[in-house]
Structure 1
Amino acid sequence: MSTIALTAGAVIEQVQHLAAVAPQVTVPNPGAGSQPPGFSHFTTVMGWGKWIALGIFVLALIGGGVMMAVSGRRQGDGGEHVSKLGWILGGVMVSSAAVSLVGFLG
């Protein structure tokens, strides 16, 4: 128990020391930045990839809906189709997040 108290005391001392030193530290401003030469071609290809991926996802969702409608007569298949649609929607979210993140950084 005393070792834990000593360790906690040491952590508190370090935090107090950092709090006293932190206002004196300045972080350099990296500036606005600019795209490297030739980077516009990459963003064009990335835009094409985004639209192709979203088109594939729309077709996959339509296909999943058709599969649910066609095999809806059998019992027990609903969960399988819902899980497939979940994976498709997960892919949509991942690709959309990637495109948004790269667009924000670029």
Structure 2
Amino acid sequence: MQNLIARLPLSVIPNPTPTVPEQAKGLLTVLNWASGIGLVLGVLGVIIVGIGMVIQLSRGNGGEHLGKLGWVLGGCIIITGASGIVRAFA
């Protein structure tokens, strides 16, 4: 069986190139805007958590904000990897 597969010419294996239909251009614009806004808000969230950490550190309990930082960074990772996540399940 393995020899039969190895003898097949490569031209038999299709290699499709995905194209976006004209009707989906507006949707892609909205998705690009949403992704950009989400990343800007993620950076803003990291800055806010950092400010909170500095304030809490001066009061003596700065470690409480590390959990919030983890959630913000996790959200940024999900936003940036959203297309890959969808492709994995599609």
**Could you say whether these structures have the same fold, taking a TM-score greater than 0.5 normalized by the shorter chain as the test?**
yes
Counterpart residue identity of residue 52, structure 1: I
| Aligned mate of 2:68, from 84, 98, 101 | 84
Query: Is the contact between residue 64 and residue 84 of structure 1 (CA under 8 Å) also seen in structure 2?
Result: yes
> 2:79: which partner in 1?
95
Deviation at 1:21, TM superposition (A): 2.9
RMSD: 2.5
Which of 1 and 2 has greater Rg?
Answer: 1
SS of the equivalent of 2:22 reads coil
| Cα displacement (A) at 1:99 | 4.5
The alignment partner of 1:38 has SS state of: helix
AA at the equivalent of 1:58: V
Q: Which runs of 5+ in 1 are unaligned?
A: 1-17
Which stretches in structure 2 are left out of the alignment for 5+ residues?
none
Q: 2:21 aligns with which of 15, 36, 60?
A: 36
Q: Distance in 1 between matches of 2:62 and 2:53?
A: 8
| Cα distance, 1:38 vs structure 2 | 0.9
1:50·1:99 contact (CA, 8 Å) conserved in 2?
A: no
- 1:71 corresponds to 2:46: no
Number of matched residues?
84
Amino-acid identity (%): 30
